[in-house]
């Protein structure tokens, strides 16, 4: 638990100093570390395809780091607020909220238990807004530590409330997805959707790729696709979860079934293992209404 808290704090700090298009894809490195530690500490065998997946993740991450865009740090929360209220990002935010509401109100009750994309879609969309608000809060804290107090601006607290709300919603539906579906399937799909939408949101809000050459943009996208491929390959080597045991006890009494004959007789069939069915006439009448 302590190491996880330290890791999340480090991840939070990373968003202050680097663009989300760089930080978010590098989250795949935690998957590699988990797989390697599980091999040595938990005796979970890392297969050859798993090693290939780790190599793909490392190669893709290296490409992303080498070609990631540089980011200029805003000088105040007001500047970040201006980026968040630009028409393009407001359109993205409104579209994201609308899609999430449709998924929650219409698709979750009907398809939540059968379609894995419903829960993961909510997590990923909300997650992209979480990263943007977390990045804004991190920059505000950094500027405050440097001597420029940002706590006096109401925009700082708006970003904080948005972050808390998004984090709670995201974790809630992520837990639902993990409880309903296999973790080996949920993890790569969630990583792919969450990272893709976060990169899109960051590109719209912070204009990460503004002024970048086409070769750098293509290189980052290729590195991201490589990381996605490595993540999928690594998770495909995991053993599936054991199915839950639902039938712990067999019924003590024999099963009874009913059937209606063509002549109007109602029969009760007694099913017992190894015995022929017994038929007992309950009643007989000429017509049924």
Residue 89 contacts residue 205 (beta carbons within 8 Å): yes
State whether 197 and 83 are in the same domain.
Answer: yes
pLDDT tens by residue, 123-145: 999 999 999 999 999 889 989 98
pTM as predicted = 0.73
State whether 181 and 144 are in the same domain.
Answer: yes
Rounded CA-CA distance 196/258 in Å is: 56
In the 8-state DSSP scheme, what is residue 178? H
State whether 82 and 144 are in the same domain.
Answer: yes
Residue 33 in any domain: the answer is: yes
Residue 261 in any domain: the answer is: no
pLDDT tens by residue, 19-46: 888 888 887 777 778 778 878 887 777 7
Q: Measured between alpha carbons, how far is residue 256 from residues 135, 248, 276, 279 in Å?
A: 64, 21, 13, 10
Pair type for strands 255-260 and 265-271? antiparallel
State whether 163 and 226 are in the same domain.
Answer: no
**Residue that is last in its domain, among 207, 222, 255:** 207
Domain count, the chain: 2
Rounded CA-CA distance 207/209 in Å is: 6
Where does the chain show beta strands of DSSP type E?
A: 255-260, 265-271, 278-284
Residue 34 in any domain: the answer is: yes
Q: In which domain, by residue range, is 198 found? A: 74-207
Residue 283 in any domain: the answer is: no
């Amino acid at each position: 638990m302590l190491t996880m808290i330290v890791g999340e704090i480090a991840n939070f700090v990373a968003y202050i100093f680097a663009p989300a298009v760089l930080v978010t894809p590098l989250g795949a490195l935690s998957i590699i570390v988990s797989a390697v530690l599980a091999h040595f500490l938990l005796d979970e065998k890392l297969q050859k395809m798993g090693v290939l997946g780790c190599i793909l993740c490392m190669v893709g991450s290296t490409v992303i780091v080498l070609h990631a865009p540089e980011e200029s740090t805003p000088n105040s929360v007001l500047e970040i607020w201006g980026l968040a209220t630009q028409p393009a990002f407001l359109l993205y935010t409104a579209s994201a909220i609308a899609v999430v509401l449709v998924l929650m109100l219409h698709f979750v009750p009907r398809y939540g238990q059968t379609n894995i994309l419903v829960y993961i879609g909510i997590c990923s969309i909300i997650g992209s807004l979480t990263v943007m608000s977390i990045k804004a809060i991190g920059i505000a804290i950094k500027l405050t530590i440097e001597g420029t107090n940002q706590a006096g601006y109401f925009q700082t607290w708006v970003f904080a409330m948005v972050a808390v709300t998004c984090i709670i919603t995201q974790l809630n539906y992520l837990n639902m997805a993990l409880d309903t579906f296999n973790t080996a399937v949920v993890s790569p799909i969630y990583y792919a959707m969450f990272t893709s939408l976060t990169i899109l949101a960051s590109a719209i809000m912070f204009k990460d790729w503004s002024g970048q050459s086409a070769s750098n943009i293509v290189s980052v996208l290729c590195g991201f696709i490589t990381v996605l491929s490595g993540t999928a390959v690594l998770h495909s080597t995991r053993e599936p979860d054991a199915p839950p045991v639902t039938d712990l006890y067999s019924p003590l009494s024999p099963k009874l079934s009913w059937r209606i004959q063509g002549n109007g007789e109602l029969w009760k069939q007694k099913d017992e293992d190894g015995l022929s069915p017994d038929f007992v006439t309950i009643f007989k009448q000429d017509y049924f209404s």
